[in-house]
Amino acid sequence: MQRAAIIGGGVIGGGWAARFLLNGWDVRVFDPDPEAERKIGEVLDNARRSLPGLSDAPLPPEGRLSFHADMGEAVKGADWIQESVPENLALKHRILAQIQAACDAGAVIGSSTSGFKPSQLQEGSAAPGQILVAHPFNPVYLLPLVELVPSAANDAGFVERAAEVLRSIGSYPLHVRKEIDAHIADRLLEAVWREALWLVKDGIATTEEIDNAIRYGFGIRWAQMGLFETYRVAGGEAGMKHFMAQFGPCLAWPWTRLTDVPEFTEELVDLIAGQSDAQSGAFGIRELERIRDNNLVAMMRALKGQDWGAGALLRAHDARLKAGTALVARAADVAEGVPVLTLARAVPLDWTDYNGHMTESRYLDAFAQSTDRFMELIGCDAEYIAGGGSYFTAESHIRHVDEVHAGARIEVRTQMLLGEGRKLHLFHAMYEGERLLATGEHFLLHVDLGTRRSCPPGPQVAEGLALMSRAHGGMAWPEAAGAAIRRAG
């Protein structure tokens, strides 16, 4: 079991704890704040609700979380140690020295610092090559970007090992090849933030109007294409050179005040805080976090369907998860007398309805995925379908037994009731743990995709059906199989 130690359990440290924990790592937390356990528990509640739903493969079993009063106890034996204490260099030097006095020599020590360079953090260190910057973005458990910033003291193999750990927990390590204050992303954010402060101070826009300009316009473009690719598209058929020729002269015009910063007076702070309260004050912080998480998951899952941007990263992480999944690989592995596991995943946020539980159409979606998996098990895989044979569903019956909410880890276990000739009769049962949530009964016909008419399956599928029939042939029919809708009263 891999172990991570989190030093500092604030918003960022709590997010790191959730990211590691829900990806199967044991997590040890050190934070002298007496409220740390409560605060991290609330972050974990949000993470358990949202992160697993990004994946269409089951995450590994959740690791063990423990809180420690002694920092040395927390870091001893840890593979990855994440320092997330306040942005004070003297404090970070003191904490990093205490970490290195107790941790294993091979442990990676990452700092969540937003602005300090790794060489600054390494000053006076007994082992500077063990420390690097691993700067995440909030919420750490959802947003994949981690700026991985080494210095000349860090060995290339050590940096790649750190990058591989981050990839294994679904993060994207952006290797910043040359250390610089505030790294890459925060420098870009700082430029927008400075300009926004002037717009508010000069009475040109309110905080809400600025936020609307971002979220209704270029922010959506940036979310899926970034800056340069967006402008390449803006150049039309002539591409980036045309865009730069067209808009390059604007750089000499007084459009921004990036080299100037408004004085941070109490008046300016009160103005911005007052506008922000009017904009978002109706929501508590946990409500805003859940709204944010809902939106991020919906956008990232939409990008996943297009295999683009952050969605492409999610697909790649799913592939890694599926490589180690508990789902059986082929029909020959099916245990006799036991329904086969055909789906194991979490309920995504966008699968829930106005009642707060999984919407009706998603039960069919989950059972359809289970049917597809069953087809693979009997040999009706992508290659077979490309060859012209497949199954079409002729009839379905779904029973909703109990409700299930976002973040719940569900499994579907499938029993083949009939698999003869062109006929396939399946019974799916959906569970959370051992709690039955729903059943789906489906009758399918094997078809020739050329003629779109039913026909017997090919030898590959016929053999798979025979294997499955031997495994399930002696099982009793489920009590609900063959049931019709009952009339009330």
217 has binding-site annotation? no
Alpha-carbon distance 307 to 39, whole Å? 35
Contact, 72 vs 102, CB < 8 A? yes
41 has binding-site annotation? no
Residues 6+ apart with CB under 8 A from 216: none
13 has binding-site annotation? yes
Long-range contacts of 451-455 (CB under 8 A, 24+ apart): 454/422, 455/389, 455/422
The region that residue 124 occupies, defined by phi over 0 for left and psi between -120 and 50 for alpha, beta otherwise, is: left
Alpha-carbon distance 13 to 31, whole Å? 9
Alpha-carbon distance 14 to 37, whole Å? 10
Residue showing tokens 């294993």: 104
Quick one: tokens of 406? 């976002």
What are φ and ψ of residue 8, in 5° steps? Answer: 105, 110
Give the burial class of 426: count Cβ atoms within 10 A of its Cβ; 0-12 exposed, 13-18 middle, 19 or more buried.
Answer: buried
12 has binding-site annotation? yes
Contact, 227 vs 244, CB < 8 A? no
11 has binding-site annotation? yes
Contact, 21 vs 44, CB < 8 A? yes
110 has binding-site annotation? no
Residues 6+ apart with CB under 8 A from 152: 119
Would you call 440 helix, strand, or coil by DSSP?
Answer: strand
Give the burial class of 145: count Cβ atoms within 10 A of its Cβ; 0-12 exposed, 13-18 middle, 19 or more buried.
Answer: middle
Alpha-carbon distance 424 to 417, whole Å? 8
Residues at the annotated binding site?
8-13
Residues at the annotated binding site for NAD(+)?
8-13
